[in-house]
A and B are shown apart, each in its own frame.
Chain A
């Protein structure tokens, strides 16, 4: 008999006990299982309730003209306009934040994974990324305000007449701080992607005489592109949804107001404005506007935007089971 012969197939022994089903478990275990189901189902119900409620309110309050009208400060809600400017603000801020966060985040992740020496420095950088990820965005907003109010940074905002310090609030400044909340997501996703690149790719490239820099540019960067895109999209979602930084750092004007002097787009970037999040906040009973209909409509658009970005991120990260907790940080 050769060693390659298939193992003999014995008929499976007859069952002595019924198949393990929850019915045969002790009561405590069955209660545990029941609680599991309850938790899972109620999670789905909460999510469903939020989506259905926001969808219902949004669709009943959202009119097409709201998307294309400039907001005005009118108390009469039929005259207070739409939220074109907040939408512009959201897009502009997201663009600035992502443009700053992605190169820096990718660079830091590359250094952490590909070099990471001296080791203590690498650990320090890792923990700094954690701290930045955990820092409340309102604290980052206050940091931005005090840092960019310094006269040196007047070029980022403008100097109010008669003031000694810069105004410290503009699209550029808010965008810079927004990049900090997107940064940990970019670093996390890029790092995951880099760690998933098999080592033989690096070795092959080095064996061909390429330098480490060339290996990074020509081999690693192309292969981690989906990871970078995932991180960037998650970061965008975070930026779109953030309110605290906008309220403190975007000058709290209703419309987009370019700074005096200078040319487009510099004056726009140095100017103030609002975003969908601050528009929702201002129009809720907590803010001054108190126009729940407008708030619902804007919140619906905001929610669509954020969900869309997350769907894109999920698609990009595709395949990978679970996706890791990168998106929570």
Chain B
């Protein structure tokens, strides 16, 4: 054998270890583990940054008291000496507004999404049904900044002109500016944004309901509506739960659209104002970060923003995991 060929075989033997069948598994597994590391770094770095804000306030961070706008201004203007940084913050209005806007959006959105999904899967004539999928996808694809633009240029002025009671506006002027940008607008647009997500998940589950169950029900003389409502919707209940949870996660993380249409003033809508409470401005955790994105240069202010991000991250992560868990029972119908 000539030397060149010999080295070739040798090299073949040496590299064969490196070319072992496990190489692909190790390489791809390293990628996957890398993803775990990314999430760990994400959690660690956000919480390290957020820690001073939480530790200075303790549980009062989540409580009420004082005006958050003034508190944030004080934090922003805190002295340059790290020993005298101001961190005092009672973020209840943000927490309350986040929960309220998210809850209202899901409340508006869920019945609508469920009915629309039923329509899409079962009741629409074939021509219209074919049209519904692109429509839902379109609504899901519109960027949030476009929703925000339409909101701030069309809906907010309309609400200000037609729904806001001028007397009420004048009465509360010393406490809170009312401009049309409000909880109501934010929750409505948020509902439009999360409905496509819910429709997709619910419709997918409705389609996967075993055909024989539906046929069995129909063969017993049950009409189409009752068949769908009593058999298909019940089978799809885990998907409905998952849809609600995932939509909630999406809604509470929405920043840009809310920052644009919600009046840009941190306030906890007062239920005692009745229907007017819906027209009061809000700010959520996520939207406060966007509205103050220039403030990162001031250290305590930046850390406070990180605290908002930490709360949003933890709640969104919990909800995502819950949604994932809620969907597991559907695996047996072939939905992953």
Partners in one complex: yes
Binding site for B on A (CB under 8 A): 20, 22, 24-25, 29-30, 32-33, 35-40, 42-44, 46-47, 50-51, 53-54, 104, 107-108, 110-112, 114-115, 121-122, 124-140, 142-143, 145-147, 180, 183, 191-192, 195, 211-213, 216, 237, 240-244, 247-248, 252, 277, 280-281, 284-286, 292, 295-296, 299, 302-303, 306-307, 309-310, 314, 321-325, 327-328
Q: Are B313 and A130 in contact (CB under 8 A)?
A: no
On whether the beta carbons of A29 and B225 are closer than 8 Å, the reply is yes
Other CB < 8 Å A-B pairs besides A38-B115, A130-B324, A136-B312, 11 of them?
A: A25-B223, A36-B118, A37-B123, A43-B135, A131-B39, A137-B255, A140-B42, A146-B46, A241-B144, A286-B259, A302-B145
Q: B131: nearest residue on chain A (CB-CB)?
A: A44
Query: Which residues of B lie under 8 Å from residue A212 when comparing CB positions?
Result: 21, 24-25
Contact: A130 with B323, CB < 8 Å? yes
What sequence of 0s and 1s flags, for each residue 16-55 of chain B, a beta carbon within 8 Å of any chain A beta carbon?
0001010111011101111110110110011011000000
Count A-B contacts at CB 8 Å.
284
B320→A108 contact, CB < 8 A: no
Asked if A323 meets B133 with Cβ closer than 8 Å, knowing A36-B115, A110-B28, A125-B32, the reply is yes
Residues of chain A within 8 A (CB-CB) of B169 are none
| Chain A residues with CB below 8 A from B145, complex form | 241, 243, 277, 280-281, 284, 299, 302
> What is the chain B residue whose CB lies nearest that of A242?
B143
B317 to A, closest residue via Cβ? A131
A323 to B45 CA separation, bound complex (whole angstroms): 37
A299 cross-chain contacts in B, Cβ below 8 A: 145-146, 149
Asked whether B256 lies within 8 Å of A244 as measured between CB atoms, the reply is yes
* A-B CB contact pairs (8 Å), 7 listed: A131-B39, A135-B42, A135-B316, A211-B24, A243-B256, A281-B260, A303-B142
B150 pairs with A54, CB closer than 8 A: yes
A142–B309 touching, CB < 8 Å: yes
B321–A111 CB distance below 8 A: no
Docked complex Cα distance between A50 and B140 (Å): 12
Question: Is residue B61 within 8 Å, beta carbon to beta carbon, of the partner chain?
Answer: no
Q: Is the CB of A134 within 8 A of B317?
A: yes
Q: Does B237 contact A (CB under 8 A)?
A: no
A134-B319, A195-B336 known; A121 vs B144 contact (CB < 8 Å): no
- Mask: chain B, 45-77; 1 = CB below 8 Å from A; 0 = not: 110110000000000000000000000000000
**CA of A192 to CA of B264, assembled, Å:** 42
Within 8 A of A (CB), among B296-329: 296, 305-306, 309, 312-313, 316-317, 319-321, 323-324
B289 touches A284 (CB 8 A): no
* Cβ A139 vs Cβ B312 within 8 A: yes
Contact count band on B: 35 or more
Separation of A324 and B116 alpha carbons in the complex (Å) = 17
* Residue in A closest to B310 when the chains form the complex, CB atoms: A139
Measured CB to CB, the nearest residue on chain B to A138 is B255
Query: Complex: how many Å from CA A171 to CA B250?
Result: 25
B321:A131 contact, CB within 8 angstroms = yes
Q: Which of A122, A137, A310 contacts B137 (CB under 8 A)?
A: A310
- Contact residues in B for A307 (Cβ distance below 8 Å): 138, 141
Q: How far is the CA of A46 from the CA of B252 in the complex (A)?
A: 22
Query: B32 and A112: CB pair below 8 A?
Result: yes
A114–B26 Cα gap in the complex (Å)? 12
Interface of chain B residues 107 through 153 with chain A (CB within 8 A): 112, 115-116, 118-120, 123-124, 128, 131-146, 148-150, 152-153
**Quick check: is B254 within 8 A (CB to CB) of the other chain?**
yes
Closest 5 A-B residue pairs measured CB to CB? A136-B253, A134-B320, A241-B143, A213-B24, A111-B28
Which chain B positions have C-beta within 8 A of A32? 225, 229
Q: Is B236 an interface residue when CB atoms closer than 8 A count as contact?
A: no
B82 CB, nearest partner CB in chain A, Å: 14
Instruction: Tell me if B201 is interfacial: C-beta within 8 Å of chain A.
Output: yes
Contacts of B305 on A, CB cut-off 8 Å? 142
Q: Answer whether A35 and B115 are a contact pair too, CB < 8 Å, given A135-B316, A212-B21, A241-B143.
A: yes
Nearest chain-B residue to A277 (Cβ)? B145
Chain A residue at minimum C-beta to C-beta distance from B289: A138
B264 lies within 8 A of A303 (CB): no
**What chain B residues lie within 8 Å of A135 (beta carbons)?**
42, 253, 313, 316-317, 320
A114–B73 alpha-carbon span in the complex (Å): 54
> A281 with B29: in contact, given A302-B143, A322-B207 (CB under 8 Å)?
no
Q: A136-B312, A212-B25, A213-B21 are in contact. Are A108 and B321 (CB under 8 A)?
A: no
**Smallest Cβ-Cβ distance to A132: which chain B residue:** B39
Q: How far is the CA of A35 from the CA of B46 in the complex (A)?
A: 45
Partner of B135, one of A44, A114, A309, A321: A44
B326 to chain A, nearest CB (A): 11
A280-B35 contact given A115-B25, A131-B317, A327-B137, CB 8 Å threshold:
no
B149 and A328 form a contact (CB under 8 A): no
Bound form: Cα–Cα A285–B144 in Å: 15
CB closest residue in chain A, given B120: A40
Q: Is B226 an interface residue (CB 8 A)?
A: yes
Determine if B35 and A129 form an interchain contact, defined as CB atoms under 8 angstroms apart.
yes
Interface check B234, CB cutoff 8 A? no
The smallest C-beta distance from A220 to any residue of chain B, in angstroms, reads 11
Whether the pair B336, A39 counts as a contact (CB closer than 8 A) is no
Contacts of A247 in B (CB 8 A): 256, 290, 293
Nearest-CB residue, chain A, relative to B256: A243
